[in-house]
Amino acid sequence: MATPTGCFLVGATGPRFSKNGDAFIGSVSDNPYDVRTFVKAVRPTKGLAHVGTELVSTTEHSLTERGYFARPGETTRGVNEAGLAFTCAMVIENEDAEVSGTPTAYADITEKMMNTCESVEDALALFQSEGKAHPAYSVLLADAKGDLAHIEVGNFGIAVNHHFSRSNPGAVFAVNCYLSSTLVNHNAPHTLLSNLENNNSVRLERGRQLAKGLRGELSVRTLAGLLSDHANREHDPMENPILEAWGYSICNHGTRSKDTYPHEDLPWGTVSAEIMEPSAGLFWYAYGWPCGAKPEFGDQLFQGNSWGRFVPFGVQASGEGEPGVTVLSTTSGEITAAGVRYQFTQVATGVVAG
């Protein structure tokens, strides 16, 4: 099995859910603290430009060498110049179930999606044409016209769990397991929502609770607060059956409560958070914990550099210049000179809760 990534995803669209009726999607990226995200602008030789994040190992061993799910160069969440945005959470499937056929590499699908798709409808058609993907993911899609979808795709097929629009408003949430009736039976048992020892159910329910209280007010600012939430942080991360030392709050402060960083059985937590505003062509990014807290233990590497705010990077700027990849922020949290040119002047400060 590929090494998974832990995430919490949220999205909303329509006048009864988001403040201005536009579609928004947001996420926290949970990984071992020595696996970091950075912001990049990608301008392909042919196709649509985008701004998004990439995962990279900060050790001498690459993600591939470490058995990690993401491949080098893969965009793990982003928004393209047509106004299509996506974010995702890996699903751990039941390894005992028999798989038939050869699935398409998930990274191949999302690369093609960012390069060629202009809407949620385009992206859904692409995923459905592939049928299966590996590794398995729960994916949120949103576009500039206000469409929003939650799909699940893996070795056992694809399910469109929800599809909303400005005229059919709604909110979506996802964690690290299948939620659709089509695929729920293909979850690994220790990840099921019914397994109350893991963190999937408490993060999902907390997200729904917060979003209900913000109904009609969801915006970049309120999503920043939701993604900074600390409810259930007191639950011992060592009790999580999915990954030991991975916490239970949305803004995740997982730790082994030690000052030394182990070479295996790594602590997991939120290494960045992202909000995509496709109608404005903005990718909002917060390095480290969006709450901006300082580390409690030495095994929470790099978290002392947490920004505590979301900085907007504009995808429109990526349409300028030669094809290639431009690094906008580093794995230790510095914004590059190029990154400054992609920024907008607004900032959304994360709200510490709990």
Span between the terminal Cα atoms of the chain, in Å = 35
Nearest-angstrom CA–CA distance, 9 and 88: 7
- Is the pLDDT at 350 greater than 60? The verdict is no
The predicted pLDDT at position 61 comes to 82
The predicted pLDDT at position 43 comes to 93
Mean pLDDT confidence for 170-197: 97
- Is the pLDDT at 135 greater than 80? The verdict is yes
CATH number for the domain spanning 267: value is 3.60.60.10
Residue 227 lies in a domain: yes
The predicted pLDDT at position 318 comes to 54
Q: What is the pTM (predicted TM-score) of this model?
A: 0.95
Nearest-angstrom CA–CA distance, 158 and 146: 22
Mean pLDDT confidence for 173-177: 98
Range of the domain at 221: 6-349
The predicted pLDDT at position 90 comes to 94
Residue 304 lies in a domain: yes
Number of domains in the chain: 1
**pLDDT (tens digit, 9 = 90+) per residue, 281-314?**
999 999 999 999 999 999 999 999 999 999 999 9
- Is the pLDDT at 1 greater than 70? The verdict is no
Which of the four pLDDT bands, split at 50, 70 and 90, describes residue 141? very high
Residue 297 lies in a domain: yes
The predicted pLDDT at position 20 comes to 95
Q: Residue holding tokens 């233990």?
A: 297
Q: 177-194 as b/e, with b when 16 or more CB fall inside 10 Å?
A: bbbbeebeebbbeebbbe
Decide which of 321 and 79 is more confident: 79
How far apart, in Å, are the Cα atoms of 157 and each of 109, 123, 181, 183? 14, 16, 12, 8
- What are φ and ψ of residue 115, in 5° steps? -80, -30
Nearest-angstrom CA–CA distance, 128 and 119: 14
Task: With CA atoms as reference, report the closest residue to 40 among 332, 317, 335, 329.
Answer: 329
Residue 329 lies in a domain: yes
CB 354 within 8 A of CB 230: yes
Can you list the positions of beta strands (E) in the chain?
Answer: 6-13, 24-32, 35-43, 50-57, 75-80, 84-90, 104-105, 133-134, 137-143, 148-154, 157-164, 170-174, 268-277, 282-287, 309-314, 324-327, 348-349
Residue 1 lies in a domain: no
Residue 270 lies in a domain: yes
The predicted pLDDT at position 349 comes to 57
